[in-house]
Amino acid sequence: MTPGAVTREAGLVVSPDGCVVEADEAAVMLLGPCRGRRFAELVETSGDVLEELMIGFRRSTSPVPGRLSLRTAEGSQSMSVTGRRRSAQGRDVVVTIRLVGDRFSELTTALQRTNTEIARRIAVEEQLRRVWGQTVAQLERSNADLLVLGETFAHDLRNPITTISGYVGLVLADPDLPEGTRRQLERVLRAAQGMEDIVEGLLHEAVQRSEATRVDVDLADLVGWVGSLVDEGTVRLGVQRPLPTVHVSLQSVRQLLLNLVSNAVKHRGRAGPVAVTVAARPLGERCEITVADDGPGIPEESREAVFERGVSTEEEGEHGLGLAMCRRVVQEHGGEITVEAAPGGGALFRFSLPCTGA
């Protein structure tokens, strides 16, 4: 922070009816006596903007960023704020007001918070993977249990995803942001939006798992979606055209392909990128799809076991969970998945999906 930059934080708790029910000492010094007053009375920002911001705050128990013009002891000032629901059960909103006198410091702080939220999202994903592995056997016996999983999965992931998208959007709004940093943050934003699509899709399928949820989709588009999420420094994703149009559950097959590509990246056995190629051929009313990589491959004695939950070919690997999910998705579409040695080395996964009109 440059000399003379001022940073202040003040905390308020706003009830569902818009009244300030708690205010710390910093808030009183900044805004004057505010407990018992309506939060709207402390704000210069228009009521519609304030209401929209408060709605966003109530949706998440993680901090969501924004900006408000507040009536302070020094006059009206535009300030960065964050807000979050106080608890998952309650509707009180905790508002933290932060004024930074130096714009570069504000940008740096926002970037640091973005990185923190990205790390948090990764930790939440890993935790949910372990939870999934412990409970999936029971969930397969009950669609009601699957609905509970979907709702929990969506709730736990929405919070960090919302926060990531919010902070990245706040930083991207800065006109002085370096172009290289802008491109990196746009990639983070696309990844967060892709994860949000997965969460919403899983929740939807937990509620409606039926043939009616299946759609016709170009397999090349699904591969392209996976390519938009992976790091070009770790994988080179290619296709052998033509690829067919398949009749599938969109989000499930997206996750299937993403898991197979991610599996190749995790176990590539080298520092450089792994090459992954997707190909397909007609097979009656279905099409046979192969996903091949040029990594170290899977030993023949382990090729069946890797599709079991919790089984891995490495001490710290995670083949079992991701590939078990792949088997479940393929079986739900009436097929089976196998793995064999790819020509020239590596692993080749082979499975079938129903084609359009089947």
Mean pLDDT value of segment 70-91: 85
- Inform me whether the pLDDT recorded for 202 exceeds 70: no
What tens digit of pLDDT does each residue of 92-150 get? 999 998 755 544 454 445 556 666 777 777 777 777 666 666 655 454 455 545 554 55
Task: State how far the Cα of 71 lies from the Cα of 31, in Å rounded to an integer.
Answer: 7
Question: Cβ neighbours of residue 333 under 8 Å, at least 6 residues apart?
Answer: 248, 249, 252, 253, 353, 354
pLDDT band at 183 (very low <50, low <70, confident <90, very high): confident
- Inform me whether the pLDDT recorded for 351 exceeds 90: yes
- Inform me whether the pLDDT recorded for 182 exceeds 70: yes
Beta strands in the chain (DSSP E): 7-14, 20-23, 64-72, 75-85, 93-100, 215-218, 235-239, 245-248, 274-283, 286-293, 337-341, 347-354
* Residues 80 and 103: beta-carbon distance below 8 Å: no
* Residues 223 and 257: beta-carbon distance below 8 Å: yes
The H or E element spanning position 226 is helix 219-229
The H or E element spanning position 330 is helix 319-332
The H or E element spanning position 183 is helix 179-207
What tens digit of pLDDT does each residue of 2-56 get? 444 444 678 999 999 999 999 988 888 888 888 999 999 999 888 888 888 898 8
- CB neighbour class for 176 (10 Å; exposed up to 12, middle 13-18, buried from 19): exposed
High-pLDDT (> 70) share of the chain, %: 75
High-pLDDT (> 90) share of the chain, %: 25
Hey, how many other C-beta atoms are within 10 angstroms of the C-beta on 263?
25
Note the pLDDT of residue 107.
44
Reading phi first (left if > 0) and then psi (alpha if -120 to 50, else beta), residue 189 is in alpha
CA distances (Å), origin 356, targets 109, 215, 285 = 50, 9, 8
Note the pLDDT of residue 66.
86
* Residues 243 and 280: beta-carbon distance below 8 Å: yes
Note the pLDDT of residue 49.
87
Task: State how far the Cα of 340 lies from the Cα of 297, in Å rounded to an integer.
Answer: 8
- Inform me whether the pLDDT recorded for 81 exceeds 70: yes
Residue 62: CA count within 13 A, CB half-sphere: 21
Hey, how many other C-beta atoms are within 10 angstroms of the C-beta on 287?
22
Note the pLDDT of residue 329.
87
- Residue tagged 């793995």 (tokens): 339
